[in-house]
Each structure stands twice: as C-alpha cells, then as structure tokens.
C-alpha cells in the first residue's frame, strides 16, 4: 500500500478537491484510486459532515474493494467501512466509507434525491459508461449546483475520456495519477486474418515455441469458439516434441462456467493461483477477462479484435450497434469487432500486471490509429431507455425533464421516443407524458417496466403469486438455461422432457411451472441438478422473488398472497389471468401470426416478420397453427430475427391496446415540446428525427446507425 502511486499525489488531490466541487481523476490501472481516494478524503476530515460513497459498476468490485479498504484501515467490514449491493447491505450507523454499485446509489436517490447523507460521492470506473453511471453523471451535475457548499464529486475515468467528462462539468480540473503497469509491447499483424480462430491458434503456438515463460491470455467471442480453440490447442501442443518447450495447461474462462460444478470450480481455482514451475498456462477467455476477472501471471495477450455483438432491428434490417468496422460479419456470423482504443488498451494492459509483457493484435496498426474510436459506444446509446426514463420521471424534480436531462452522451431521439411510447402504452405515463400513480409504483420495483406493469395488473386480477415467479424467472433467465456443452447434450435432451411444458401456453407458463415444482421439493438443490438447471440461477430467482414480494407487500399495505404455490381457483388451468396480466405489461411487445404460416409480425411502431425461437414450448393447435396473438419477452437477432419467450394471449385483450397505439401523440408525450404530429398511426418512426433532439447536442448515434445502414446496403448491392 505504501508505494501506491496515488499517495504521492495526496496533497495535490486534497487541495484540488477543497477548491472545486467536481474533480476528474485519471487513474490508470494499478494506481490505487479505487482503494485510496476514499481513505485520503477520510483522513482529511471529509467524513465529519457525511459519508463517502464510492460507486462501482460491478457487485464483485464493490465487495472486494470494501473488504480491502477495511483491512487496510484495520476495521471490521460493515463498521467504519462497508458496502451495499442488491440483497446485501453491510453498512451500519458507524459507516464512514461506503462502497456500492451504481444501481444501488440510484435506488437511494429515489427515496432521497439530494443524497444528503453523503459528503463525497466518487463515481469510479466512469469510463466503462454503464447506463447507471451515465444517469448518475447527469444527476450529479444537477446535485452539485444544489449542494455546492457541502458536496464533493469525484469521477475517475480513462485517459482518453477525461477531457470530455471535464467539459461536461464546466471544465472542472483533471488530475492524472500514473498507474503501476509494466510496459506492454504492442505487435500488429499486417492484415485482418480470414479466420480469427486459426490466427489466434497460430499466434499462441508461436509464443509457446519462441517466447520465454509467462501465461497467455487469448480473447475469443463466446463459449463455442473457446471450446474449439481449447481442443485445437490441446491437440497441437501435444504433438510438439516433448521437452522442446514448457508444459502447457489450457483453460477456458467464460461467464457460464458454473462454479458450483466441480469442474468449473477447479478451473477457476487454477486460473487464479500461480502456475506450477516450468509450465505455461493458456487462458482462453471471453471479454469477462477484460475487466471482471483478473488472471495473474499473464505476460502475453492475443487480441483478435473480435467480440460478441448485439444487433438491433431497424426497419427491415439488422444493424450492429457497436458501429463495428465489419458490420456484415455481425449480420452473418453474429460476431463483431470492437473498435475503440480504450478497449484495446484494456486488453493489452492485462499483459503488464506482473512484469513487462507483449500484446499481439491480429489487425494492422492503421486500424487502431485511424479507424478506432476513442471510447466505447456508451450503454445508454445501445439499450432500451424505458426503465431509465420512468426512473427519472419518478424522481419528480420540478426542474427535471427527461428531454432536457443533461447526458454526457445523449441517447438518440428515436430511443427516447420509443421509451415514452412504451411507458404510455403500459399506463406508466399519461398522454401528456406525466407519470401516473401506476408508474410511480412501477418505478419502485427493481424490474424492467413491462414486468413491473405485469405485477401490478396481476395484483388486480388475483394472480400476483404467479406473476412474481414469472418476473423473477425472467430476471435470471439467461443463467437459468441449461448449459449447452457437447458432453451434456444427450443428457439434456432427456431431462428437458422431464420439465413441465407450459401446458402449451408458452414459455412464461413453463418458467412458472418449473419454479412451482422446485418450490414443492422445498428448494432441493438436487432437483435442479437432476433437471440440468443452473443452481446459481435458481437461487438467484428465489432471492429476486422474495425481494419483489416484500416490495409488493409494502406497497399494497395489506396481506397479499405471495406464496410460490398460491391459491388456485377452480377451472383456471388455462392461466388466463396471468396471461392477461402479461398482455397488459407487454403491450408494446405483441405479435400477430401470419395468415398462411406460423411466422409472426410484430405489432407496434416498427413491424417486422419474425419466427418463434425453436426452443419455445408454445404449442400449435390441432390444425398445426400457433396462437393468433402472442406477447414476447425478447426479440433477438441471430441468424434470423427470433422471438424468445412467448406467451399466448387473446384477441380481445389485444384490441384495446392497438386502439391506444393509434391514439399516441408523441408531441404531447414528450411534455409539450413544440412538435406537430398528425395521423401518425403506427408510423411514428417516420417522424422527422430532429424534432425530438436535445437542443444543441450533436447526435452521433443517428449518424452511426446511418453509417451501419449504408455499409449494409453497399454490401448487399455488391452481392
């Protein structure tokens, strides 16, 4: 601790913070900013008038940094130093330094908008640009004006982003603290490889044969490619002459390695402990190894520039929102290229943690220098804003208007518009864009707005106990899916048939039935394993369900039936009330079956033709036809657009919604901004986009989408 670079800057930091309400700290990896900034300000008396809050984008970081700081100060975790994450609050009245996730701080500001208990708020890792941190940045800008005399805000960021954050906060001072990274030599390829997998394999073998000892970290896009490369690497390493080079251990590392499984646990242990002597480890990882997990001992990094990418449907086409250079790859392979220097540097930095290292970039330097953006496209420009918009509206600040909210990077007018329309359709805001009483309650629930709305409707029609389960299951859905490694393939097929089938009504009902069955076993871990369900995921569902139940009980102020296996009424095997509640909650995620086949057309503002995902348990009727109307939880774009998690609904629930769609007036929704919209029926995306733009702020996002569209069309014309 004593030789952390940041401590040499203590005087300078304290002086700058004393004089300025907002300070940007550029702290490189290993500078000690996350653990030391709070301690410095604590030493210098900043905790006399309030506590120091430090936000982190990830739960593990909040916990581990808090633990470390408590250790350094020699106090018990939860006393002077504590942390707060979802499901876990380890703070007390004595707490001076509190580490928390950015999401928890947002929740706190819902009940206390001035965050009056804090004398200092440090937004750590702001360069990661998580949605929550971006909202906090906007709130902080407002808060420092209101609490200029007794609040200090520190924002830590990466080198390439510091100026921009400073500009956002009226050119506040920027302090740079060097890190403790060792130099990393960057080596470029002459051109992009035709197969990034083969190129990674070849580079890995070259390192193994020619370079001195040190572990190798290889970035891949996903589990499949990781498994392929691991097996190829094993083959090739074995065929090398014995004794000609170091022994090799090859380890996969990705998010769905189940730690509760022996094999997975063993892998994680091996990744984090030092390697045996005369042995080189190859860690083949997803970008989980970029920030979330640190592998010690890595000296060589192989970075192919590829990453898993999310595409969004616009009009009839899919566009990659990462603005990747090879957008057509995204469309055909569902693989994209990252294109920002911060991310490239982050990957390279993984090679220099213990000693000087090397990073092999499998692309030409001209790309890095000329084509890459400085920073990642922030999450706020890539995701649905309905939840954030509802949150901001519920803050109920007289000077707070979502369209005037100051974002570091404003989201596109299109996504703001989408959010407002969705919130209106599910009754969270009225036709004038004002939050309704329903919307207020929805904002209290830690769920996406469509699920909160479903819960409220379910409460009205007596099926809350079921809706709570569905909402909790969908919250954890990805962790719930059985693993899909090849060795378990056959077993899985077998066990799948043991799971309930949703009685033909669809996937939501199946999720409900699965949890109900698990509940009847008294949450038996063995039952999950027998049915190949991720134990971790199911336990998470149980936690979420409990949390949601408590919040609903508090709101309703009565005793609600929230038991997992609640009371059935006679003749309700069709789950009708629950399906209706889902229909109300997912009013903007409806689809109508095509007349002649089982494809669907989404209803709403940007209709498109989609298929039900093959994994769905939705059943066709005796004539082989799927239900006429469904709601869906997700529209995913892989090889084709698919609806994932669908539920059958009835036409007379749908009609009132469609009528409401026709009446939408986005002009009024946006709070009386000077817009004139007439006869827009379902064609709101045709509106001139500028009209909803935030005044004076350039809208990069629009041009980015346009660029992606142009690239796509050019490529299509060529074919």
Partner DNA sequence: GAGCACTGC
Interaction site with DNA (CB under 7 A):
57-60, 85-86, 101, 103-104, 106-107, 130, 132, 221-225, 254-256, 286-288, 292, 307-308, 310, 333-334, 387, 446-448, 475, 478, 481, 484, 489, 613-615, 636, 638-640, 642
Distance in Å, CB of 655 to DNA, minimum: 31
3-state secondary structure of 35: helix
Q: What pairs with residue 300 in β-bridges? A: 216, 358
Residues 6+ apart with CB under 8 A from 194: none
Q: What is the largest CA-CA distance in the chain?
A: 78
Asked if residues 559 and 478 have their Cβ atoms less than 8 Å apart, the reply is no
Residue with smaller CB distance to DNA, 230 or 245? 230
Please, what is the minimum distance in Å from the beta carbon of residue 60 to DNA? 6
Min dist. Cβ of residue 59 to DNA (A):
3
Rounded-to-integer distance, Cα 65 and Cα 507, Å = 40
CB distance 315 to 232 below 8 Å: no
Pairing state of beta strands 174-177 and 279-285?
A: unpaired
Q: Which residues on neighbouring strands pair with residue 358, listed in sequence order?
A: 185, 300
Q: What is the torsional sign of CA 640, 510, 537, 105?
A: positive
Shortest Å, Cβ 104 to DNA: 5
Name which of 103 and 275 has its Cβ closer to DNA. Answer: 103
- Parallel/antiparallel/unpaired status of strands 641-649 and 629-637: antiparallel
Residue number, 497 or 522, with CB nearest to DNA:
497
Rounded distance, CA 503 to CA 511, Å? 11
Residue appearing with tokens 């007390």: 92
CA-wise closest residue to 552 among 457, 478, 618, 487: 457
For DNA, the closer of residues 309 and 362 by Cβ is: 309
Which residue's CB is nearer to DNA, number 177 or number 636?
A: 636
Place of tokens 């996730």: 101
Instruction: Please give the Cα distance from 637 to 184 (Å, whole number).
Output: 37
Q: Which is nearer to DNA, 59 or 529 (CB)?
A: 59
Nearer to DNA (CB atom), residue 110 or residue 714: 110
Nearer to DNA, 273 or 615 (CB): 615
Strand partners, 318: 313
Query: Does residue 383 contact residue 373 with C-beta atoms inside 8 Å?
Result: no
DSSP state of 694: P
DSSP 281-341: EEEEE-GGGTTT---TTEEEEEE-SEEE--EEEETTEEEETT--TTHHHHHHHSEEE--BH
Q: Which tokens hold the place of 329?
A: 């790859």
- Shortest distance, CB of residue 107 to DNA, whole angstroms? 4
Q: Which is nearer to DNA, 136 or 246 (CB)?
A: 136
**Shortest distance, position 5 Cβ to DNA, whole Å:** 27
Nearer to DNA, 402 or 649 (CB): 402
- Taking the complex as a whole, the smallest distance from the CB of residue 594 to DNA amounts, in Å, to 16
Nearer residue to DNA within complex by CB, 175 or 637: 637
Minimum separation from the CB atom of position 449 to DNA (A): 10
Least separation, in Å, of the C-beta of 271 and DNA?
A: 13
CB closer to DNA out of 254 and 508: 254
CB of 671: closest distance to DNA in angstroms? 24
CB of 330 to DNA, least distance (A): 11
- Nearer of residues 547 and 673 to DNA, judged by Cβ: 547
**482 is written with which tokens?**
């059985």
User: For 52, phi and psi rounded to 5 degrees?
Assistant: -100, 120
Angle ∠(526,60,250) on CA atoms, nearest 5:
70
Q: Which is nearer to DNA, 309 or 587 (CB)?
A: 309
The least distance separating DNA from the CB of residue 525, rounded to whole angstroms, comes to 22
Supply the angle between the helices 33-43 and 10-19 in degrees, to the nearest 10: 70
Q: How far is the CB of 695 from DNA (least distance, A)?
A: 29
Nearest distance in Å: CB 127, DNA: 15
CB of 355: closest distance to DNA in angstroms? 26
Answer whether 41's CB lies under 8 Å from 14's CB.
yes
Taking the C-alpha atoms of residue 402 and residue 428, their distance in angstroms, rounded to an integer, is 14
The rounded distance, in Å, linking the Cα atoms of 201 and 234 is 10
Q: Kind of pairing, strands 81-85 and 88-90? A: antiparallel
CA angle 520, 521, 526 (to 5 degrees): 150
Q: CB nearer to DNA: give 23 or 267.
A: 267
Measured distance CA(660)–CA(448) in Å, rounded: 21
């Amino acid at each position: 601790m004593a030789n952390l670079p940041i401590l040499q800057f203590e005087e300078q930091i304290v002086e700058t913070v004393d004089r300025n309400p907002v300070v940007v700290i550029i702290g490189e990896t290993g500078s000690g900013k996350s653990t030391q900034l709070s301690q410095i300000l604590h030493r210098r008396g900043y905790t006399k008038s309030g506590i120091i809050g430090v936000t982190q984008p990830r739960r593990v970081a909040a916990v581990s940094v808090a633990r470390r700081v408590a250790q350094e100060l020699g106090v018990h975790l939860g006393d002077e130093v504590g942390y707060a994450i979802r499901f876990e609050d380890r703070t007390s009245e004595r707490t001076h330094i509190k580490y928390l996730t950015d999401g928890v701080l947002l929740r706190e500001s819902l009940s206390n908008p001035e965050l009056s208990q804090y004398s200092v708020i440090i937004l750590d890792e702001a360069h990661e640009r998580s949605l929550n941190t971006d909202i906090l940045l906007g709130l902080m800008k407002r808060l420092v004006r209101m609490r200029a005399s007794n609040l200090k805000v520190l924002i830590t960021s990466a080198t390439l982003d510091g100026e921009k954050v400073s500009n956002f906060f009226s050119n506040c001072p920027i302090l740079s603290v060097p890190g403790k990274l060792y130099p990393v030599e960057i080596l470029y390829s002459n051109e992009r490889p035709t197969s990034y997998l083969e190129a990674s394999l070849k580079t890995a073998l070259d390192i193994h044969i020619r370079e001195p000892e040190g572990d190798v970290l290889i970035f891949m896009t996903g589990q499949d490619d990781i498994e392929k490369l691991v097996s190829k690497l094993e083959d090739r390493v074995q065929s090398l002459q014995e004794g000609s080079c170091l022994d090799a251990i090859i380890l996969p590392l990705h998010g769905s390695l189940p730690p509760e499984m022996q094999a997975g646990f063993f892998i994680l242990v091996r990744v984090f402990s030092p390697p045996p002597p005369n042995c080189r480890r190859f860690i083949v990882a997803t970008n989980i190894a970029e920030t979330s997990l640190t592998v010690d001992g890595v000296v060589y990094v192989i970075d192919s520039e590829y990453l898993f990418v999310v595409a969004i449907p616009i009009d009839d086409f899919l566009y990659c929102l990462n603005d990747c250079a090879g957008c057509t790859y995204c469309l055909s392979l569902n693989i994209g290229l990252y294109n920002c220097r911060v991310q490239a540097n982050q990957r390279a930095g993984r090679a220099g943690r213990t000693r000087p290292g090397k990073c092999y970039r499998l692309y030409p330097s001209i790309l890095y220098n000329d084509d890459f953006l400085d920073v990642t496209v922030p999450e706020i420009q890539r995701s649905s804003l309905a939840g954030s918009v509802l949150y901001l509206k519920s803050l109920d600040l007289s000077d707070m208007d979502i369209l005037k909210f100051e974002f570091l990077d404003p989201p596109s007018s299109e996504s703001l518009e989408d959010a407002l329309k969705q919130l209106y359709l599910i009754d969270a805001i009225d036709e004038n864009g004002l939050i309704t009483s329903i919307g207020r309650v929805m904002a209290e629930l830690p769920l996406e707005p469509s699920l909160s709305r479903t819960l409220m409707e379910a409460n009205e029609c007596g099926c809350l106990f079921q809706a709570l389960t569905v909402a909790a299951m969908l919250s954890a859905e990805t962790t719930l899916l059985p693993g899909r490694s090849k060795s378990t393939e056959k077993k899985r097929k077998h066990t799948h048939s043991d799971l309930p089938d949703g009685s033909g009504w669809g996937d939501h009902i199946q999720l409900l039935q699965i949890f109900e069955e698990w509940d009847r076993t008294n949450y038996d871990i063995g039952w999950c394993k027998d049915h190949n369900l991720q134990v971790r995921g199911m336990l998470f569902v149980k936690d979420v369900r409990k949390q949601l139940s408590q919040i609903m009980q508090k709101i309703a102020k009565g005793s609600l039936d929230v038991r997992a296996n609640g009371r059935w009424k006679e003749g309700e095997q069709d789950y009708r009330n629950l399906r209706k509640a889902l229909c109300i909650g997912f009013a903007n995620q409806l689809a109508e079956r095509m007349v002649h086949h089982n494809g669907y057309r989404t209803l709403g503002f940007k209709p498109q033709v989609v298929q039900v995902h093959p994994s769905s348990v939705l059943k066709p009727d005796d004539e082989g036809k799927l239900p006429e109307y469904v709601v869906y939880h997700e529209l995913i774009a892989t090889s084709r657009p698919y609806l994932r998690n669908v539920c059958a609904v009835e036409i007379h629930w749908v009609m009132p919604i469609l009528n409401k769609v026709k009446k939408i007036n986005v002009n009024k929704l946006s709070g009386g901004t000077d817009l004139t919209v007439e006869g827009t029926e379902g064609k709101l995306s045709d509106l001139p986009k500028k009209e909803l733009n935030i005044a004076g702020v350039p809208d990069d996002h629009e041009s980015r989408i346009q660029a992606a569209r142009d690239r796509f069309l050019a490529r299509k014309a060529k074919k």
